[in-house]
Amino acid sequence: MSADFAAPRGIPDYFPPNSADFRRVRDTLTDAARLAGYGHIELPIFEDTALFARGVGESTDVVSKEMYTFADRGDRSVTLRPEGTAGVMRAVIQHGLDRGQLPVKLCYAGPFFRYEKPQTGRYRQLQQVGVEAIGVDDPALDAEVIAIADEGYRRLGLSGFRLEITSLGDNESRGPYREALQEFLFGLDLDEPTRKRAEINPLRVLDDKRPEVKAATAEAPLLIDFLSDEARTHFDLVLTNLKRLGVPYELNPRLVRGLDYYTKTTFEFVHDGLGAQSGIGGGGRYDGLMKQIGGKQDLSGIGFGLGVDRTMLAMEAEGVAHADVARCQVFGVPLGADAKAELVGVAGRLRAAGISVDLAYGDRGLKGAMKAADRSGARLALVLGDRELEERRIEVKDLSNGEQHALSLDGLIEEVARLLG
């Protein structure tokens, strides 16, 4: 019989044992950011639709095809956040964080929403850990951001990934490049929507996944050959700093990101064990975003978004996932109603002392309860019958070696703590 409800299509649930890895990925990646001085920011799950339209770019797939947009009860158009950078920038402007010490360094983790075609590694609710460093345009900062991601992945035990990097240049580089690229694209036999794209945002055409378009644009001019002197120097310094930090990279001048705000340094972490959805994280510098969404200043920023879901898949592919059930240190086995009442209190006191405890609920009898204790993976079983209770003692069994001791119920907490070492 099929159940009445299932999670919406493309929306994953995270439950034991794999949810342990979900937390590990999220915590390890955010810890790597904290080690470089990034403070936590918690942002709304939905925002004004115009923030994403203007920030991320109308011509991107993310905005034009994938947003979860709806009218709220006050008839305002709101959108479930498809990414984090625009919201961070909005918060920085709204709260005047850009008037304090620069760069503003922020880190976030949580769900994002894109109405994409679901498949392994591509979900409609996806989880990211992100950082943004806003207010200073220093190539050493770009390298820092990239090194945080690299370090985070390595701490998770991953090694089968590579960093692809390029520069998308500054305004000065982009004008001449845009002209050259459009001239090239208008010389091709493109369908009408693609031609329109070439007019509005020619770079997007290079992100087209259709094999025929890919083949036709294989010889397109590359932005990296049009970099201004300043953008060139900036990029060279990013690479020099990456070397200093021991972060290996591969130049990929064809790298195209799915969001419009990128300028200068742009990068992606790619894992080879994942098939089509191989991007485990990506980011870059964004020079015009603050102005674009109404900031009075025009400060540059740099950041990344790392995909938690795909990082988990990468760990599985490399055999470094540690799916694990939440184990308790102690498992209580009550034999009788009075014993259970007593053990409930003991469990509470043990937990207050920082010791994790589970109990055999549901009156299973000694055999069933001992089986549950063995399966629980706990170190110690506390077995209490009504007769022992009368004598104020309790059986403690070390499940790792079968040793058994009778202990006094009084002073039990200290004794259990001692046995656990």
Among 89, 280, 369, 378, indicate the residue that binds ligand HAM (CB under 6 A). Answer: 280
> Which part of the chain contacts ligand HAM (CB under 6 A), choosing from 164-172, 304-312, 386-394, 403-411?
304-312
Asked if 333 and 383 count as a contact pair (C-beta separation under 8 A), the reply is yes
Give the nearest distance from C-beta 76 to ligand HAM in angstroms: 23
Among 21, 47, 98, 132, indicate the residue that binds ligand HAM (CB under 6 A). Answer: 132
How far is the C-alpha of 50 from the C-alpha of 54, rounded, in Å? 6
The residue number whose beta carbon is nearest to ligand HAM equals 307
Phi/psi for 115 (5° steps) reads -80, 75
Query: 333 forms bridges with which residues in the sheet?
Result: 383
Region 140-169 residues binding ligand HAM, contact defined as CB under 6 A? none
How far is the C-alpha of 54 from the C-alpha of 294, rounded, in Å? 10
Give the nearest distance from C-beta 87 to ligand HAM in angstroms: 9
Cα→Cα distances 4→1, 7, 87, 106, 244, Å? 9, 11, 36, 41, 57
Q: Any known ligand binding at 14?
A: no
Q: State how far Cα 323 lies from the chain centre.
A: 18
Q: Residue 304 interacts with ligand HAM (CB under 6 A)? A: yes
How far is the C-alpha of 58 from the C-alpha of 192, rounded, in Å? 18
Q: Which is nearer to ligand HAM, 110 or 157 (CB)?
A: 110
Q: Any known ligand binding at 177?
A: no
Q: Which is nearer to ligand HAM, 40 or 76 (CB)?
A: 40
Give the nearest distance from C-beta 124 to ligand HAM in angstroms: 7
H helix runs in 161-296, sequence order: 171-186, 192-200, 202-205, 211-216, 229-244, 289-292
Asked if 42 and 154 count as a contact pair (C-beta separation under 8 A), the reply is no
Region 238-277 residues binding ligand HAM, contact defined as CB under 6 A? 258-259
- Residue among 87, 86, 90 nearest 98 (CA): 90
Region 99-118 residues binding ligand HAM, contact defined as CB under 6 A? 114, 116
Q: Residue 279 interacts with ligand HAM (CB under 6 A)? A: yes
Known binding positions for L-histidine: 83-85, 114, 128, 132, 257, 261-262
Given the rule CB under 6 A, which residues bind ligand HAM?
A: 83-85, 114, 116, 121-123, 126, 128, 130, 132, 258-259, 279-284, 303-305, 307, 309-310
